Structure 1
Amino acid sequence: MRYPCAVFLLLFLTAACAGGAASSVPTEPPPTTPPYPVGQMTDQTLVVGGVTRQFRVHVPAGTTTPKAVVFVLHGGGGEGLDVSVLGQHALSVFRTVADREGFVVVYPAGLPANDAQRLAGWVDCRADNTVASAADDIGFLAALVERVRTAYGLTSARMFMTGGSNGAQMTHAFAFNRADLVGAVATGSGSLPVTPKTGGCATGPSRPLPIMILHGSGDTQMPWGGGCVADIGGNCNRGRVISAEATRDRWLQINGLGGVTPTTTVVDSSAADAGPASRFDYPGAAPVRWWRLDGAGHTAPSRTVLSPPNPVTGIQNRDIEFAEIVWAFFKARLP
Structure 2
Amino acid sequence: MTPSSRRLLLLLALAALPLAASAADRRTLVHDGIERHYTVRVPERLPEGRVPLVLVLHGGAGNAENAEEMTGFTAKARREGFIVVYPEGTGRFEHRFLAWNAVHCCGPAMTGKVDDTGFVRALLDRLAADLPVDTRRVYATGLSNGGMMVHRLGIALPDRFAAIAPVVATVFGDEPRPASPVAALMINGALDTSVPPAGGPPGGRVTSAWDGTPTRPAQAQGDFWAAANGCAPAPDERVDGTVTRWQYRCTPGREVEVLLVGDNGHAWPGGRPGSLRGDRPSRTFDATDAIWSFFKAHTK
Q: TM-score range by the shorter chain?
A: 0.7 to 0.9
Q: Is the 8 A contact 1:229 1:238 kept in 2?
A: no
Q: Give the deviation of 1:149 after TM superposition.
A: 2.2
Alpha-carbon distance between aligned partners in 2 of 1:159 and 1:145, rounded to the nearest angstrom: 9
Matched, 1:181 2:176: no
Contact 1:261 1:282 in 2 (8 A): yes
TM-score (norm 2): 0.80
Q: How many residues are treated as equivalent by the alignment? A: 271
2:218 is the alignment partner of 1:244 = yes
Question: CA separation in 2, counterparts of 1:95 and 1:295?
Answer: 25
> 8 Å contact 2:52–2:134 — kept in the other structure?
no
Give distance in 2, aligned partners of 1:211 and 1:108. 20
Task: Report the alpha carbon displacement of residue 295 of structure 1 after superposing the two structures with TM.
Answer: 4.3
- Residue 256 of structure 1 aligns to which amino acid in structure 2? G
1:213-292 alignment, distance < 5 Å: 213-232=186-205, 237-239=210-212, 240-259=214-233, 261-262=235-236, 264=238, 266=240, 268=241, 276-285=242-251, 286-292=254-260
Relative to the length of structure 1, the TM-score reads 0.72
Shift of residue 104 of structure 1?
Answer: 0.2
For residues 1-335 of structure 1, what are the structure 2 equivalents within 5 Å?
42-63=25-46, 65-77=49-61, 79-85=62-68, 88-89=69-70, 91=71, 93-112=72-91, 119-126=97-104, 131=108, 132=110, 133-152=112-131, 154-194=133-173, 196=174, 202-232=175-205, 237-239=210-212, 240-259=214-233, 261-262=235-236, 264=238, 266=240, 268=241, 276-285=242-251, 286-302=254-270, 305=272, 313-334=278-299
Deviations 1:112-170 (A, max 9, x none): 169xxx820000132x7664343110000111112212333545321111101000000
Structure with higher Rg: it is 1
Aligned equivalents of 2:265 and 2:255: distance in 1? 26
Q: Does the aligned pair in 2 maintain the 1:65–1:152 contact within 8 Å?
A: no
Letter matched to residue 305 of structure 1 = R
Rounded to whole Å, the distance in 1 between the matches of 2:156 and 2:146 is 15
129 and 50 in structure 1: CA distance in 2 versus 1, 3 angstrom threshold? closer
Alpha-carbon distance between aligned partners in 1 of 2:264 and 2:60, rounded to the nearest angstrom: 19
- Tell me how far apart the structure 2 counterparts of residues 237 and 289 of structure 1 sit (CA, whole Å): 26
SS at 1:148 equivalent: helix
What is the percent sequence identity of the aligned residues?
27
Distance 1:236 1:141, change over 3 A: closer
Q: Which amino acid aligns with 2:52?
A: A
The Cα of 1:211 is off from its aligned counterpart by 0.4
**Unpaired stretches in structure 2, ≥5 consecutive residues:** 1-20
Output the CA distance in 1 between the equivalents of 2:195 and 2:102: 14
Unaligned runs of at least 5 residues, structure 1 = 1-38, 197-201, 269-275
Structure 2 residue identity aligned to 1:171? V
Measured in 1, the distance between the counterparts of 2:273 and 2:201 equals: 27
Give 1:81 deviation, angstroms. Answer: 1.4
- Residue 94 of structure 1 contacts residue 324 of structure 1 at CA under 8 Å; is this kept in 2? no
Is 2:60–2:106's contact at 8 Å kept on the other side of the alignment?
Answer: no
Counterpart residue number, 1:19: none
> Residue 180 of structure 1 aligns to a residue in which SS?
coil
Classify 1:178/1:241 alpha carbon distance in 2 versus 1 (closer, same or farther; 3 Å).
same
* CA spacing shift, 1:129–1:81, aligned 2, 3 Å: closer
How far 1:308 moved relative to its partner? 9.6
Task: State whether residues 232 and 248 of structure 2, in contact with CA within 8 Å, keep that contact through their aligned partners in structure 1.
Answer: no
Whole-Å Cα distance in 2 between the matches of residues 107 and 236 of structure 1? Answer: 22
Question: Which residue identity is paired with 2:244?
Answer: S
d(CA) in 1 for partners of 2:206, 2:180: 38
Counterparts in 2 of 1:108 and 1:235: CA distance versus 1, 3 Å: closer
Residue in 1 that maps onto 2:12: none
User: For residues 148 and 300 of structure 1, what CA distance do their matches in structure 2 show?
Assistant: 26
User: Helix, strand or coil for the counterpart of 1:264?
Assistant: strand
Taking the aligned partners of 2:288 and 2:122, their CA distance within structure 1 comes to 24
AA of the residue aligned to 1:121: A
Please state whether the residue corresponding to 2:139 is helix, strand or coil: strand
Q: Distance in 2 between matches of 1:277 and 1:235?
A: 30
Aligned to 2:18: none
Change (3 A) 1:55 1:327: same
Instruction: Look up the SS of the partner of 1:149 in the other structure.
Output: helix
State the Cα distance separating 1:227 from its structure 2 match.
2.0
